[in-house]
């Protein structure tokens, strides 16, 4: 069984490759994991092209939702994007914060940070900053963010509880997050879960939806809400790498499902009751 550090290195290596790939390759794959399907359609991604602030150079086709659309970002807000990639969600957030706000993107892949900074320079944004770091230990002070967003990233992190604790730490009291992610209903076949490429491709790193929501609530967030949910269909030519034809049929007709969810939660205001360590 792989350690957390080994899984992180798998993701780091794969996303370094993705940073140098064409968007078309990423979009025809499972969250950018490679050309893993001959069925040319997007398994995960939602369409950003009509959203204010969208920048095609920064869109690598790696997301599984539109968290910035649901994030209630206001002019002047400070926004943190977890796993910021080439900067797509940061630039969309910046369209909402305006010149008076600030957007901080965090990514632990050097190639992604380099690409995002080049994109920001092209756009002439002075209030969009990209920091290299692990979102389990964010290079950000506490109580600085009005909004945290993330798009298809927490499922790649082995220690999701640590990330949620960090989200709680960096949010101001009364502030909130909107995070898109991949979750499960029922048990994913073990062969699928264990494969390294599929881990980097978002699916086998996902956890049960109920467990995911319980982790959020257990870290002290209130008003936790699923803002959007959509099913993710894995093509047969991917599933056939892991299962027999009968197992695929059983998988499709059983109670197991893979979903993209966008989840909202708030950090309690000062004086409000919560159960997260150090919040009261």
Phi, psi for residue 107 in degrees, rounded to 5: -150, 145
Tens digit of pLDDT for each residue in 47-92? 887 899 988 888 877 788 999 999 999 999 999 999 999 999 999 9
pTM: 0.83
**Of 239, 240, 170, 182, nearest in space to 63 by CA:** 182
Tens digit of pLDDT for each residue in 30-54? 444 444 444 433 456 778 878 999 8
Could you tell me the two tokens for 253? 């007709």
Tens digit of pLDDT for each residue in 190-225? 776 666 455 445 565 788 999 999 999 999 999 999
Q: Rounded CA gap, 261 and 184, in Å? A: 10
Q: Parse the chain into domains and list their residue ranges.
A: 4-265
DSSP string, 69-97: HHS---TT-EEEEES-TTSHHHHHHHHHH
pLDDT at residue 186 greater than cutoff 90 = no
Helix 160-170 crosses helix 209-218 at what angle (to 10 degrees)? 40
Q: Rounded CA gap, 207 and 218, in Å? A: 15
Angle value at C-alpha 137, between 134 and 143, nearest 5 degrees: 125
Could you tell me the two tokens for 172? 């101001």
Specify the fold of 4-265: Rossmann fold (3.40.50)
């Amino acid at each position: 069984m792989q350690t957390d550090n080994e899984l992180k290195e798998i993701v780091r290596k794969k996303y370094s490759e993705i940073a140098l790939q064409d968007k078309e390759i990423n979009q025809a794959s499972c969250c950018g994991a490679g050309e893993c399907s001959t069925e040319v359609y997007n398994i995960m991604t939602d369409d950003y092209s009509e959203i204010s602030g969208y920048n095609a150079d920064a869109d690598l086709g790696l997301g599984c939702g539109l968290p910035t659309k649901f994030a209630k970002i206001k002019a002047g807000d400070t926004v943190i994007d977890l796993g910021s990639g080439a900067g797509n969600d940061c630039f969309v957030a910046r369209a909402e914060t305006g010149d008076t706000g600030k957007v901080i993107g965090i990514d632990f892949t050097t190639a992604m940070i380099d690409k995002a900074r080049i994109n920001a320079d092209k756009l002439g944004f002075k209030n969009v900053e990209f920091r290299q770091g692990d979102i389990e230990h964010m290079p950000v002070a506490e109580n600085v963010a009005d909004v945290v967003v993330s798009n298809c990233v927490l499922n790649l992190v082995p220690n999701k509880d640590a990330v949620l604790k960090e989200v709680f730490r960096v949010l101001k009291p009364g502030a909130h997050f909107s995070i898109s992610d991949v979750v499960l209903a029922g048990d994913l076949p073990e062969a699928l879960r264990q494969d390294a490429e599929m881990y980097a491709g978002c699916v086998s790193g996902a956890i049960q939806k109920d467990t995911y929501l319980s982790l959020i609530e257990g870290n002290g967030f209130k008003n936790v809400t699923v803002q959007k949910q959509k099913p993710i269909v894995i093509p047969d030519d991917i599933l056939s790498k892991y299962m027999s034809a009968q197992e695929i049929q059983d998988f499709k007709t059983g109670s197991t499902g893979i979903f993209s969810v966008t989840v909202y939660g708030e950090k309690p205001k000062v004086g409000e009751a919560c159960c997260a360590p150090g919040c009261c």
